[in-house]
Amino acid sequence: MKDIATPNRTKDILERHGFSFKKSLGQNFLIDTNVLNRIVDFAELGPDTGAIEIGPGIGALTEQLAKRAQKVVAFEIDQRLLPILADTLEPYENVSVIHSDILKADVHEAIRQEFREGQDIMVVANLPYYVTTPILFKLLEDKLPIRGIVAMMQKEVADRLAAAPGTKEYGSLSIAIQYYTEAETVMTVPRTVFVPQPNVDSAVIRLLKRPQPLVQVQDEAFFFEVVRSSFAQRRKTLINNLSNNLGSLSLPKEQLEGILQETGIDPKRRGETLSIAEFGKLSDALYTHKKNGSV
């Protein structure tokens, strides 16, 4: 049988099932098997690896995962796709499709039920553009027992996730993702290999989970608050952003300036110039003041 991800087979499947795309679900199906195989290559699946997919569509990526992984569990929100997936994936006995919104799903429970304890697991997905960031944060903040994530997304978002300090793409999103993972954009994908064609180019990013977060901080929630506050208005200096936006710690500007200088950080720098290690140092210094009631 021909692969699902060819223009003709995709067209045939969609016509046979009378399927129409829902713009609200960000449905863009891949029609290039070479691109799919490269995505699966980057996930480095072994014969004992489990794969989790989000938004399988008509099963184009699922099929390639099923050929290489021990088991594939796919979460699909659109009920109309369930009979199509039952049809296209019928030859693959190692695939389970769960009808669920991944943002509401108990992924820990699905892993307990579908995979062996301690099994190597990778998330591999062509993510809907409109919910890429919430999905990634759910997967990372839920502290799932996964090795990492290989995901296709809007190129602009991928650039931000993997950005280095001092670049215009670097921001609170870059820091949040790199705090948990090693992030690398591994390939770009033209819009021409999708139906319908999106308005933007895509990229595939590989996020490998760190055994420990990149920096050890006294309070994780406060660390992320400091990061977000530092980028609240990108053109403003650290001292201005922190004094105007750090809601849980209201210090006089002079005191904030003193803390910044104590940590060796020039108050006139902008957030985009700080490394994650510097943000860790700064957040701990500020947290010490907060803990000691210096407000």
Is omega for the bond preceding 145 within 30 degrees of 0, making it cis? no
pLDDT tens, 208-220?
A: 999 999 999 999 9
Residue 1 has pLDDT above 70, yes or no: no
Q: How confident is the model at residue 28 (pLDDT cuts 50, 70, 90)?
A: confident
78 is in an annotated binding site: no
d(CA 292, CA 226): 17
Q: Is 118 marked within a binding site?
A: no
Asked whether residue 12 is marked as a ligand-binding residue, the answer is no
Tell me if 101 is assigned to a ligand binding site: yes
Q: What residues form DSSP beta bridges with 290?
A: none
Using DSSP, how many helices (H) and how many strands (E) does the chain show?
12, 9
pTM for this one? Answer: 0.92
Domain spans, the chain: 7-209, 220-291
Say which residue, 90 or 292, is predicted with more confidence.
Answer: 90
143: alpha, beta or left? (left if phi > 0; alpha if psi -120 to 50): left
Please tell me the CATH code under which domain 220-291 is placed. Answer: 1.10.8.100
Q: Quick check: 117 pLDDT over 50?
A: yes
In this predicted structure, what is the pLDDT of residue 291? Answer: 80
Q: State which H helix or E strand residue 74 sits in.
A: strand 71-76
Find the radius of gyration of the CA atoms of the chain.
Answer: 22
Domain 7-209: assigned CATH number? 3.40.50.150
Selected residue with higher pLDDT from 26 and 60? 60
DSSP string over 181-198: EEEEEEEEE-GGGEESPP
